[in-house]
Structure 1
Amino acid sequence: MFNFSKSLDLPPQLHWKYANEPELLAWTIRARNYNTFVANCMFAFLSAIILIATYSIYAVTTQDESYFYQVSVSLGFYLLMSFTISCMTHQRMNFAYRFTQSGVEYCKWKDFPKWALTFLKWFSGITAIIFIFLATLDSTFLIGALIGPGGMGLMYLSMANSKSFQEMHTEYHHHAFKWEELTQLAIATNREVVDLKYSITLKGNDYKTNWSLNVFCKRKQKEAVANFIKPYLSPDVPFIKAKVNVPMSTD
């Protein structure tokens, strides 16, 4: 209907509640479900610290070493640390949305990035070979091999063998809401998001819980999604345009 891409497959850990009902609309998307301004500021701050540390490494490298060696060690440290902090500050979550006659449900998940392990393994191996070759020309490159490829190799081993680290970067969640539980529909003016407020009684509670559901949309499709949702809501549900803040997860 809206030509949404379905490039992400639902993982086997998650299942649709209304799978027996025909889907009216569905799509998957990878999005940052947090305040990106804060993430950018954090990345900029940490990058500044890394630049200072990189310059310090360059400065303390003995003057007897070649200029290429000094630059290689410093650049390797900067690239490795920048890659590491970007993975921490700018992670993306996978989202899958499905609309049926009963309501809206979505799955969100984050798998441990196996590609990062593959990258570290191959990059550390290739750079180690390069440094070993350069060491045949200048033995001081053996120090660079220990600092650069050696450090990346240790990081790879710690990530690959740490179950707790991998679990920290793995999440699986499923949520479903009936149309009558939605209390407000809003088109975000600051993000590609349709915001749905809901009011539900959680299992084991005797009171209503009011929260927001952010429906992350493809570029320039939030208006179409909001107009699709509107007929399924009660006539007294407000339909507005407003700045939306991504709330902290209730999971």
Structure 2
Amino acid sequence: MWFIQPKQDYIPEIPWKHGDEPAVMVWQVRARNYNTFISNIFLIPIVCLAIGVGYVMSLMAETLVFSLLAWGGMILFGLLLGMSMTHQTTIIVYRFTETLAEEYSWKPQEAAAAAFLKWSAIILLPIVGVLILMDPSLVIAGIGPLGMGLMAWMMGTQQAKQNKSQHKEVKWTEAEEIVAWRKRNLIGLRFTDIHEDGIETFFYSTIYCQPHNFDENIQYLRKALPKVPYHERELKVFSNYAL
């Protein structure tokens, strides 16, 4: 999920393939490395469905309080469930040497799910406790938050990366164009790929930056590649466009 992510420093534990070469730039970033417009559109029907189901559930409640809780809870659940499917982010770690750029990336879904369950239990337990004091017959409602807390404990709360991380590298000094998309703090380096049949195709390697190091990275690349054209415009983002 985009709103619950590990916040530890992964750079020292990455098994860099070119770690023996001095680094000129190193950073990590959380990014939605795909077309965000399409995923935002997919979220709308999920939320609408949750609103409809929540309304039906509210009609079955006997009191106004439980009606509002059922409707609001269903909307919140649908929103969080939908965002967990459409708004996933990827942790990306970059390391640039004087000639090569390496990228390690992975989706920390398990750690995010554990954190979500833990904080859901922390928030819901006091609410359920108040409801139980009002009506002791609702003690069974405490099973939900306790179950969430137990699942979070079993999954572990250590924010660790998944074993299956993707590694990519490129000779960034051979870039033929530098493109900056300020809206998403994204840099694109264009390269030409010559196939065995002699046909040439070009592609962009995308580099996601932190807001505070975006301009710094652009300045470094432009200074290192003074003859390479530089443009500022929107980039088409697909997961396979990554560095």
Matched, 1:245 2:236: yes
Give the counterpart letter for 1:10 in structure 2: I
- CA distance 1:30–1:127, change in 2 (3 Å): closer
2:58/2:66 contact within 8 Å kept:
no
Question: Does structure 2 retain, via aligned residues, the 8 Å contact 1:110–1:171?
Answer: no
Work out the CA distance in 1 between the residues paired with 2:83 and 2:203: 30
Q: How does 1:71-90 map to 2 (within 5 A)?
A: 71-90=68-87
- C-alpha change, 1:171 and 1:36, in structure 2 (3 Å) is farther
Code of the residue aligned with 1:19 in structure 2: it is G
CA distance in 2, matches of 1:170, 1:51: 37
Distance in 2 (CA, whole Å) between partners of 1:53 and 1:11 is: 47
Query: Hey, what does 1:18 align to over in structure 2?
Result: 18
State the Cα deviation string for residues 145-178 of structure 1 (Å, max 9, x = none). Answer: 39xx549948x86xx78xxxxxxx8751111111
Normalising by structure 1, report the TM-score: 0.71
Find the residue that maps to 2:236 and give its secondary structure.
Answer: coil
Aligned in 2, Cα 1:47/1:101: closer, same or farther, shift over 3 Å?
same
Partner of 1:3: none
2:169 is aligned with 1:183: no
Q: What TM-score does the superposition give when structure 2 sets the normalisation length?
A: 0.73
Other structure's SS at 1:40 match:
helix
- Structure 2 counterpart of 1:227, from 199, 205, 219: 219
Distance 1:24 1:118, change over 3 A: closer
Structure 1 Cα separation of the partners of residues 12 and 110 of structure 2: 14
Say whether the 8 Å CA contact 1:179–1:233 is kept in structure 2: no
Q: Which residue of 1 aligns with 2:108?
A: 111
Aligned length: 228
1:216 aligns with 2:194: no
1:1-251 pair list within 5 angstroms: 8-10=9-11, 12=13, 14-61=14-61, 65-120=62-117, 123-124=120-121, 127=124, 131=128, 134=131, 138=135, 141=138, 145=141, 150=144, 153=147, 171-200=164-193, 210-219=202-211, 221-233=213-225, 235=227, 237-249=228-240
Which consecutive residues of structure 2, in runs of 5 or more, have no partner in the other structure?
1-6, 156-161
Quick check: 2:101–2:170 contact (8 Å CA) kept in 1? Answer: yes
Q: CA 1:246–1:79 in structure 2 vs 1: closer, same or farther (change >3 Å)?
A: same
Aligned residue identity for 1:172: S
What is the CA–CA distance in structure 1 between the aligned matches of 2:225 and 2:68, rounded to whole Å? 61
| CA apart distance, 1:238 | 2.6
By percentage of residues, which structure has more helix?
Answer: 2
- Gaps in structure 1 of 5+ consecutive residues: 1-5, 162-168
| Structure 1 pair 131–194 and aligned structure 2 pair: CA distance change class (3 A) | closer
Q: Return the letter of the residue paired with 2:229.
A: P
The AA in structure 1 aligned to 2:108 is D
Please say if residues 51 and 78 of structure 1, whose CA atoms lie closer than 8 Å, have aligned partners that are also in contact: yes
Partners of 1:73 and 1:171 lie apart in 2 by 39
Deviations 1:19-75 (A, max 9, x none): 1111112211111111222222222332122112111111233xxx22222222322
User: How many percent of aligned residue pairs carry the same amino acid?
Assistant: 25
Q: For the residues of structure 2 that align with 1:78 and 1:17, how far apart are their CA atoms?
A: 46
Per-residue CA deviation, residues 156-215 of structure 1 (Å, 9 max, x unaligned), is 86xx78xxxxxxx8751111111344222111254211111223579xx78777422111
